[in-house]
Chain A
Amino acid sequence: MANFNIDAKKDMTYDAIVIGSGISGGWAAKELCESGLKTLVLERGRLVEHVIDYPTMNNDPWDTELRGAAAAEELKERQINARTGFVGENNIHFFAKDDENPYKEVKPFMWVRANQMGGRSLLWGKQCYRWSDLDFEANAKDGHGVDWPIRYNDIKDWYTYVEKFAGISGEAIGLPQLPDSHFLPPMELNCVEKDVKKRIEKEFPGRNMIIGRVAHLTEPLNGRGQCQSRNRCDRGCPYGAYFSSNAVTLPAANATGNLTIRPFSLADSIIYDEEKGKAVGVRVIDSETKEVLEYYAKIVFCNASTIGTTQLLLNSTSNRFENGLGNDSGELGHNLMDHTYRVGAMGKFEGHEDGYYKGRRPNGIYIPRYRNIDEKSTTDKFLRGYGYQGGAGRANWGAGANQEAFGGEFKDALMKPGDWEFFITGFAECLPYHENQVSLDKDKLDKWGRPTLVIDAEFKENELAINKQIQIDAVEMLEKAGLKDIVGFDNEHGMGYGIHEMGTARMGKDPKTSVLNATNQVHAVKNVFVTDGACMTSSSCVNPSLTYMALTARAANHAVSELKKKNL
């Protein structure tokens, strides 16, 4: 695999250019390369080759000086990413440095970035859920935002297509609001989760508790190994057992011989040809040398992540598009969404003291949305809905900090597993608000001379009303499930924490109110495709990345067929 073609100097012209190599860009590259297009992937960060560039993947706590924690000095450069609470010595090299893309937070917005080959596919939580017509019809039904130009049926087969290649484990249960994927065998629930599931499903008809659906191989697939439950995924997986661009899509693209990937290539803007009425290429700043280069292609795929793509489009100005490429509607940069997060409840479970588990399962449980899904479940307190992630585990020595004890017996008792604990935390849908937006600050430039971003977005009444209900329901479910010492919590921090930022270049039927058409093409510049989270018209309450994969594969195949018909 150590044979990526990075020699983009010898050829400035390709059939296709893909900007960004994260979850969506990897899929674009794979599909376009496999269709025979000579494809250039522009990646602003460094190369990260599967396994070779995972230096910390086998570290035990004692292998690093601070036992896996990152030193204050190292975190200084990553204050924004560090707010996630996820950054440590073993994964810090996969989180971007703040000064690589500074932005202004008008209201608190945590923009979590990973600027290297593979993007955030190396760090993500791998939770994968299909969206349903409940999601695709939501805007049309309650009038918030614009209608999606597609429905579940338009993308159903593409879900199956990407799932077969990515490998999604889970259990099929036939819920209309959360369609089943093409599944590998599910991971197991543990003793307590099995009990809690029974009780919740009995006490609350219409609610389900299932094992999380995750992009982890529970069986080998295409030469990738089965997940070994090490839960060290965010350092890179030696087995390729979870889905990342690095382990899955980019090697497939590379195997065709059609891929060139150019690292350290910050896409600055898309070059629009006024006469041809289409894009002809991409202007790139070499992020190491600051050299400016131009690459040309018949089609351009924007996969620089939701906000990164919109920044690029806003910065792509011309006589025809003074306010950003494809921004005839004025909606470019608007309708930024995320999921609310970190509201829920936790408690202790009595029983199963003689039970334990084997493995650090990189997955938890999921409680699919049960509110506002049909007439019976409709509430007038808020629109849309929420689901929960969570799980049970046994406390370990960490619980000793709070125990009113010390000394030898105390120490030795901590060698044994402690109480079983269970928690759930909600993820709620956020409405698309025009005023939640990103814009360019042309007076404040980054170190490459690009305008920086201003992010001005917040959750509003509807999201806060949902959060209230999330906590009430969480406490109630835990009570009925027999948990003890239940604590409800609301740690909502403002947008970005969900790391599911979506919108800002939405799809829609009408070019006057949206940026992209039903196949992710910029309405007025049909050879530019946007298939990352920027394209999303609403936010659902389920994790979005699987949908980016399906939309990308669908759009890429559409692009190829349009090219063949000479329509682009």
Chain B
Amino acid sequence: MQRREALKQTALFGVATALFPSLLQSCKETSRLNWQPQFLSVKHAELVSSLVDTLLPKTETPGALEMKVDMFIDLVYGKLNGEAGQETMDKGMDDFDARCKEKFGDRFADLSPENKAEFLKMEEANSPKFNGSIWGTAAGKQEPVGFYRNLKSTALWGYFSSEEIGLKVLTYDPVPGPYQGCIPLAEVGNTYSL
């Protein structure tokens, strides 16, 4: 469900594009929560917070933590996922941290920025991908993509559908008027938020 919802917020459909892995720019320590999770355990919430901060750190534009993406994922976990989804995600988070410990001797939230980045690079390389989707449904048979890619997708959704990004960073155009099929991108700038 969670992924389908995320996809519905994207363009018509989303065939993957491979970008060059970019360098990490954030070194923020986030293992102490400054919010109270409603649904996730504190341990899991700490993992989510540190993950979204590593995935979408602050630059000239706000980072995922400022946009409360971790709190949003807590809600998605509690209200969107249903019981089965919650169990899968719990297990995914425990496995994720167990692999982290095996590799670096610590859970993800407590790793150094360098180790976090290294670990996520491995996760990227090993995680299955989403099929393209059409009208909110995956095209072809979708194999499970695992905890990491699901979380990343939800983090993107939470970040880019947040009010500040939607109104101030992306191009907000609630009432576009008659459709214009072919205009210079330069006239628009950033992608549309709606």
Contacts and interface: CB of A to CB of B under 8 A. Distances in A.
Contact of A355 (B12, B159, B182): B182
B188 A401 contact: no
Interface in A494-552: none
Interface stretch (A145-153, A185-193, A313-321): A185-193
Nearest to A355: B182
Contact of B19 (A60, A227, A354, A413): A413
A393 B190 CA distance: 15
Nearest to A343: B139
B25 A407 contact: yes
A226 B178 contact: yes
Interface in A126-176: none
Interface in A216-270: 218, 226-230
B10 interface: yes
A434 interface: no
Interface residues of A, number: 80
A96 B26 CA distance: 47
Contact of B160 (A402, A414, A418): A414
B173 interface: yes
Nearest to A490: B140
Contact of A60 (B11, B149, B158, B194): B194
A423 to B, nearest CB: 6
A406 B80 contact: no
B137 interface: yes
B14 A398 contact: yes
Nearest to A411: B56
B15 A395 contact: yes
Given A60-B194, A85-B137, A396 B183 contact: no
Select the residue from A65, A69, A73, A489 with max chain B CB neighbours within 10 A: A69
Nearest to A391: B12
A228 B173 CA distance: 11
B182 to A, nearest CB: 4
B140 A415 contact: no
A76 to B, nearest CB: 9
Contacts of A308: none
A429 to B, nearest CB: 21
A487 B140 contact: yes
Contacts of A358: 173, 176-177, 179-180, 183, 188
Contacts of A393: 11-13
Contact of A191 (B11, B14, B181): B181
B115 to A, nearest CB: 14
B158 A67 contact: yes
Given A395-B11, A400-B156, A188 B21 contact: no
A401 B130 contact: yes
Nearest to B54: A406
A191 B170 CA distance: 22
A401 B18 CA distance: 10
A190 B17 contact: no
B191 A405 contact: no
Given A188-B179, A228-B176, A411 B59 contact: yes
B42 interface: no
B180 A423 contact: no
Nearest to B129: A402
Contact of A188 (B135, B163, B180): B180
Given A407-B26, A421-B12, A355 B152 contact: no
B12 A86 contact: no
Contact of A412 (B60, B117, B182, B185): B60
Interface of B: 1, 4-26, 54-61, 63, 72, 75-76, 79-82, 85, 117, 120, 124-125, 129-132, 134-140, 149, 152-153, 156-163, 166, 169-170, 173-188, 190-194
15 contacts: A71-B79, A229-B179, A346-B139, A359-B176, A395-B17, A398-B14, A406-B56, A407-B55, A414-B191, A416-B190, A417-B191, A421-B11, A423-B13, A423-B139, A491-B138
Given A359-B180, A421-B12, 8 more contacts: A67-B72, A68-B8, A72-B82, A356-B184, A398-B10, A399-B10, A405-B22, A406-B54
